Chain A
Amino acid sequence: MELPNEKLIEVYKKMLLVRTMEEKWAQLLAGGKIHLHAHLGTGQEAVSIGVTAPLSKDDILFGTHRGVGEYIGKGMRPRDIWAEYLGKRTGLCKGKGTLHLADRTQNIPGLVASLGSDFPIAVGTALASKMQNKNCVTMYFVGEGTCNQSDAHPSMCMAALWQLPIVFAVCTNQFCEMSYMSEHCPTEDIAPRAAGYGIPYEIVDGQDIETTYKATEKAVKHARDGKGPYLVEYKTFRMGAHFIGERAEYVKREDLEKWAKRDPIDLCRKKLLEKKVITSAQDNKLWAEVREEVDMAVETALSDPDPTTEDFITDIYEQKGVL
């Protein structure tokens, strides 16, 4: 399960970018420069990058509300993300989506507010690909808690029934908002549910980027080859609260300590150093470059124009004046 060196360094850089983006987000919140709820995915970077890095630009991605990782992984630009998070009119959605990022140029249709409502929407985009005979796959990336939404079941049913090119990627981070998985799910694994619809599945380690990348690559190939849907469950751990400001007192210390030993970025760095792909000095330089890139993106977005009253009442219908 080894990635070529150049691929490994590429995904490592993406993981650094994700963590840096999220650290910056926390800083902006603390400094009162941003007011949006921040749901961070610290500790889950190998899943979000592993799930998206094997995708092509034409592939369609549905991400989660903890989604900076997968959006960066799919190709969204930090500068566009910040402008939207800051509610600027230059944002991807003109400040109308904020946390609910959508980027048509990257085939990211958007994020629903009610978790799981996009289960069937993703099936619909996969249906469109199949009807168009387009060789692209829909990646439906979702948390394990969301798999309890009622639409999950008919969505998997239709995807299997019509043999659609879709990958259900379940990020099992052990928490459903502010509860442990054991409180909302009767089984340890989500993946076997796929068998009920005849969908093949696999459960993999979510901390190792090579494992997540390879598992995704295999699932995507399966869907792209016309063999129908595939489900992969990635086991990981959310190293933080549901949202910034939430105290997360329910998270057990021993769990944090246990999972911290397998931090995905540390694991990847270790490999790169052992393989001598990079040196310690080069690693430090990479971090510095990424931080500078993120700082620059924030600076530009902060000085962007705010939305206007004209923006407020447009984009509801195709034609203006229908309210």
Chain B
Amino acid sequence: MGRTITFLQALNEAMTEEMRRDPKVFVLGEDVRISPFGQTAGLVKEFGPDRVLNTPIAESAITGVAMGVAMYGYRPILEIMFCDFAMLAMDQLCNQLGQWRYVTGNQYSIPITIRTNVGGGVRAGYGHSQCLESQFIQAPGLILVEPSTPYDAKGLLKSAIRSNDPVIFFEHKRLILGGISGEVPEEDYTIPFGEAAVCRSGKDATVVALGFMVHEALGAAQDLFAEGINVEVVDLRTIVPLDKAAIFKSVEKTGRLITVEEGRIRGGIGAEIAAMACGEYFDLLDAPVQRVAAPMVPIAGSPILEDMYLPNKDSIIQAVKRTL
């Protein structure tokens, strides 16, 4: 340990090291040689244009190309610049990628990593700011990952690249652009999928969050602590597979569950976790499950309207208090 890097550097390091380690790993996507946000910056210099492939603007087709090349021995890392644009590739993502292993009777693996940025708060407005992770939870065969720290970003991205199943890796803009830093070891490491992290221990309520919302949840926990309320914060890290055991263990201790996501509330990840809790350990709950999420409203360009849309520390504090 002893080295502090940014979230962005962690992503870049993970890709650089994996490309050095395995010649079958390569990057493709729109403008990945230049890299508008910087995740793939510099890769073309070290690995050349054949391993850092700029593509046309065609999200569905480039996802299909990545799938085809993955079937025949490569480990493509496809960047879909904005998760909003991944909606153009829903057929490839949900109908083909995740289901191919099953419908071919395990003849083909699709070892592909799709990196895409999510989230608002950077005033990017309509079509560039959504958190659409829950769009994918209905699709079997996909692994869904969303880190909140540089340490997790690097370890989970390495696991994604080495995975023989297709992974969608969500990177929140406020973690990339906000320059969030953290300690990351020099040596190689990976983080397994399906293991949540308890990033703050508490006894009064369990707040389950992911991505940038983990930081809002930690802020809320700090404020609540000043009021004498001790909140436990669980960072999911992966949405699929979901660490049901970690959530259960925490709720067993606190008796209260609050889910936090930046995506919209209807059919969201919180809905899934709340249903699971009510179906599997209702008797542990001392209060109704509370969901913090965005409303069923598009994202406006006006900063004032965007702020009304985004869940934050205050909405989490209110939700926690509703359970006490």
Contact = CB atoms under 8 A, between A and B. Distances in A.
Nearest to B55: A158
A240 interface: no
Interface in B96-141: 96, 100-109, 140-141
Interface string A303-323: 000000000001111100011
Given A102-B108, A131-B74, A154-B56, A124 B91 contact: no
Interface stretch (A6-14, A106-114, A241-249, A275-283): A106-114
A227 interface: no
A127 B106 CA distance: 22
Contacts of A314: 106
Contact of A128 (B60, B73, B141): B73
B236 to A, nearest CB: 15
Interface string A118-148: 1111111111110110000000000000000
A154 B62 CA distance: 8
Interface stretch (B64-72, B79-87, B262-270): B64-72
A36 interface: no
Given A114-B95, A120-B65, A124-B65, A318 B70 contact: no
B103 A125 contact: no
A93 B105 contact: yes
A96 interface: yes
Given A100-B103, A104-B107, A158 B61 contact: yes
A269 B55 CA distance: 48
A213 to B, nearest CB: 26
Contact of B74 (A119, A128, A150): A128
Nearest to B72: A128
Identify the interface centre among B72, B91, B163: most chain A CB within 10 Å of its CB: B72
A125 B95 contact: no
Contacts of B64: 117-121, 123-124, 151, 155
Contacts of A126: 68
Given A117-B96, A124-B71, A151 B106 contact: no
A110 B50 contact: no
A211 B241 CA distance: 53
Contact of A110 (B65, B92, B104, B164): B104
A244 to B, nearest CB: 22
A109 B71 contact: yes
Nearest to A319: B165
A316 B105 CA distance: 9
A92 interface: yes
Given A119-B61, A120-B61, A120-B62, A315 B105 contact: yes
Please name the 4 residue pairs, one residue from A and one from B, whose CB atoms are nearest each other, closest first.
Answer: A124-B68, A120-B64, A154-B58, A128-B72
Given A91-B105, A158-B56, 8 more contacts: A102-B103, A112-B95, A112-B96, A120-B63, A121-B65, A151-B61, A317-B165, A318-B165
Interface of B: 26, 50, 55-56, 58, 60-74, 91-92, 95-96, 100-109, 140-141, 143, 163-165, 193-194, 240-241
